[in-house]
């Protein structure tokens, strides 16, 4: 099964909550991944920041490669970087199953999305809160996934921006039902149900998982709140 097929196999799954590993204990990375696997997560979300497109610097290719070696779970890589065209092939080679990049960093996104599709990796765009949906509309047929940011990319500790809900509703109306709508930023017990009601299918969660000692219970509570069960 190709990386893209692994992602598309989750398209109709209910209750897809993706832990954002940015919040995990990197000093005990293998232990953290095992705990998430035991908690029943279906995929992992990795945030790559370059200190240029966004003001923070996180991790890059070596960490993504290390995580690939540690788990068979699908890996969803969110590139918050300038000039994503220079790095797409390298991140494909790390073993990423899905790669998303910002339309703000590459307004003419079509060729890069086609490049990912040819590589048999799931392709997607990311849209910041202040960017209109019109910026991604021309490229929706080339996307397997569209990530709606509910905070400004790269800044920590921000409040959830309800404009993301408007974008999710708009995108659901304008896109194929096959397009996966993902939401990231301030997703917690207070906001997760609204995200799902607006059309969000994949929910990226950081502190609402990692601030708890029992990841399985935290994820089940999120699923119960969002989807009405603990799928």
Q: Is 229 a catalytic residue?
A: no
The three-state secondary structure class of 171 is helix
Q: What is the sign, positive or negative, of the torsion defined by CA atoms of 154, 155, 157, 161?
A: negative
Distance CA 118, CA 121 (A): 8
Active-site choice (5, 25, 47, 97): 47
The three-state secondary structure class of 123 is strand
Q: Look at the chain and count its residues.
A: 231
Closest C-alpha among 43, 77, 42 to residue 59: 77
Residue reference for tokens 């119960």: 224
Phi and psi for 167 in degrees, rounded to 5? -65, -40
Scanning the chain, the segments in alpha helix (DSSP H) are 3-8, 29-38, 61-70, 88-93, 110-118, 163-174, 192-197, 207-210, 215-227
Q: Is there a contact between 125 and 156 (Cβ–Cβ < 8 Å)?
A: no
Active-site choice (178, 184, 190, 214): 184
Closest C-alpha among 184, 182, 207 to residue 24: 207
Q: Is 47 a catalytic residue?
A: yes
Residues recognised as catalytic? 47, 184
């Amino acid at each position: 099964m190709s990386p893209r097929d692994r992602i598309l196999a989750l398209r109709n799954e209910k209750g897809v909550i993706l832990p954002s590993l940015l919040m995990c204990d990197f000093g005990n990375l293998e232990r953290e991944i095992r705990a998430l696997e035991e908690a029943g997560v279906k995929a992992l979300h990795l945030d790559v920041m370059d200190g240029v497109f966004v003001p923070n610097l996180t991790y890059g290719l070596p960490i993504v490669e290390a995580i690939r070696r540690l788990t068979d779970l699908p890996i969803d890589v969110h590139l918050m970087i300038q000039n994503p065209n220079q790095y797409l092939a390298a991140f494909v080679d790390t073993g990423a199953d899905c790669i998303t990049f910002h339309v703000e960093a590459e307004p003419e996104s079509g060729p890069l999305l086609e490049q990912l599709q040819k590589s048999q990796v799931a392709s997607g765009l990311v849209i910041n809160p202040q960017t209109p949906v019109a910026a991604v509309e021309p490229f929706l047929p080339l996307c397997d996934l569209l990530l709606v940011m509910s905070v400004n990319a790269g800044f920590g500790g921000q409040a959830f921006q309800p404009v993301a809900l408007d974008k999710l509703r708009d995108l659901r109306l304008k896109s194929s039902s096959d397009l996966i709508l993902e939401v990231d930023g301030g997703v917690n017990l207070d906001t997760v149900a609204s995200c799902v009601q607006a059309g969000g299918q994949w929910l990226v969660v950081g502190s609402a998982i990692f601030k708890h000692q029992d990841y399985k219970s935290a994820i089940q509570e999120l699923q119960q709140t969002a989807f009405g069960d603990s799928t």
